[in-house]
Amino acid sequence: MSIQQSFITLSDGNVIPQLGLGVWQATQEQAANAVSEAIKSGYRHVDTASVYENEDGVGIGIKQSGIAREEVFVTTKVWNPEQGFDKATAALDASLERLQLSYVDLLLIHWPAPKMDLYVDTWKALIAAKKQGKVRSIGVSNFNQEHLVRLIDETGVKPALNQIELHPFLQQNTLQQVHKKLVIETQAWSPLGQGKALSHPTIIAIAEKHGKSAAQVIIRWHLQQGRIVIPKSVTPSRIQENFDVFDFSLDLNDLEGIALMDECHRFGPDPLLFP
Ligand code: NAD
């Protein structure tokens, strides 16, 4: 099956499918079914984390789909209490075991957790894991400019991407500019604003204009602006709908309308204060 979709080449040379499936708050069983359904619909990218407690389910879903391991891009993350060189190394081994995989495509530090001040040591563990072949690419999540610069200054290794909260209500233009300057890709989490952006009149009007759904319009907005995006659903019809976004384009008026929706409003915690 040839699947229409788009890819981004990371600064380390590895290629990531631009649109993936998020599985936060999915049970093991829901994750297994959603991943298997997504792969059948054309997705080749899944985003999980040790704290989601569904890595076993993700591994089962990949196996159930029958896809070859190398055809699917799998991301997991090191949780806050797993930070530090030794703990992060052990956490990755445990994730691989739960996923039933010999490597993950991308490993992220889930939060900088600045009060713990362990993210540089944790980053060194990710660098070592990449050298050992347990991880193809390494990156971070919820980092701001000062955390990114410190990692690069102290290790000489830059994250392939930064996965941050980003949706029409929180457009993160300043941090995206920082990413551009540092050549770090932007990955959007809660890309639909946890579903809350779907009922906004601007989105509904654009959706009606293009004969697409509100979710498709927002996913298209992320893709067209060059971001990697991981909308979550465990409902087969929505999983399919969210992937059916490669046959239309938003125009300048649409993009200007969505730009006006930015309220700098977070649904998740402030990375400087968490945990
Ligand atoms: P999201 O913005 O993807 O919204 C998901 C919700 O939108 C679903 O629960 C569903 O209710 C609704 N939805 C999805 N598709 C729909 C459709 N077609 N029609 C109608 N409603 C639809 O929110 P999210 O799950 O918070 O974020 C996506 C993924 O990002 C997560 O699953 C996870 O993988 C990742 N994430 C990462 C972090 C981090 O700290 N790195 C934090 C939160 C989420």
| Helix (H), strand (E), coil (C) string for the chain | CCCCCCEEECCCCCEEECECEECCCCCHHHHHHHHHHHHHHCCCEEECCHHHCCHHHHHHHHHHHCCCHHHCEEEEEECHHHCCHHHHHHHHHHHHHHHCCCCEEEEEECCCCCCCCCHHHHHHHHHHHHHCCCEEEEEEECCCHHHHHHHHHHHCCCCCEEEEECECCECCHHHHHHHHHHCCEEEEECCCCCCHHHHCHHHHHHHHHHCCCHHHHHHHHHHHCCCEECCECCCHHHHHHHHCCCCCCCCHHHHHHHHCCCCCCCCCCCCCCCC
Nearest CA to ligand 1 atom 11: 195
What per-residue confidence (pLDDT) applies to 264? Answer: 97
CA 200 to chain centroid: 23
Nearest CA to ligand 1 atom 4: 194
Tell me if 141 CB under 6 Å of ligand 1: yes
pLDDT in tens, 139-185: 999 999 999 999 999 999 999 999 999 999 999 999 999 999 999 99
Distance 176 CA to ligand 1 centre (A): 20
With the most atoms of ligand 1 within 8 angstroms of its CB, the residue from 110, 192, 230, 245 to mutate is 192
What per-residue confidence (pLDDT) applies to 2? Answer: 52
Asked if residue 131 is part of any domain, the answer here is yes
Asked if residue 215 is part of any domain, the answer here is no
Query: For position 109, which CATH number holds?
Result: 3.20.20.100
Tell me if 82 CB under 6 Å of ligand 1: no
pLDDT in tens, 182-230: 999 999 999 999 999 999 999 999 999 999 999 999 999 999 999 999 9
Q: What is the mean pLDDT of the chain?
A: 98
pLDDT in tens, 91-139: 999 999 999 999 999 999 999 999 999 999 999 999 999 999 999 999 9
Distance 10 CA to ligand 1 centre (A): 23
Nearest CA to ligand 1 atom 21: 195
Structural domains counted in the chain: 1
Distance 204 CA to ligand 1 centre (A): 18
What per-residue confidence (pLDDT) applies to 33? Answer: 98
Asked if residue 265 is part of any domain, the answer here is no
What per-residue confidence (pLDDT) applies to 240? Answer: 98
Asked if residue 97 is part of any domain, the answer here is yes
Instruction: Residue 238: give the domain boundaries.
Output: 7-195+226-247
Asked if residue 66 is part of any domain, the answer here is yes
Tell me if 236 CB under 6 Å of ligand 1: no
Asked if residue 254 is part of any domain, the answer here is no
Q: Residue 1 above 70 pLDDT?
A: no
Return the residue matching tokens 């300057």: 181
Buried b (16+ CB within 10 A) or exposed e, 156-170: eebbbbbbbbbbbbb
Asked if residue 74 is part of any domain, the answer here is yes
Q: Report d(CA 164, CA 186) in Å as an integer.
A: 7
With the most atoms of ligand 1 within 8 angstroms of its CB, the residue from 164, 171, 190 to mutate is 190
Asked if residue 99 is part of any domain, the answer here is yes
pLDDT average, residue stretch 248-264? 98
Q: Supply the residues annotated as catalytic.
A: 52
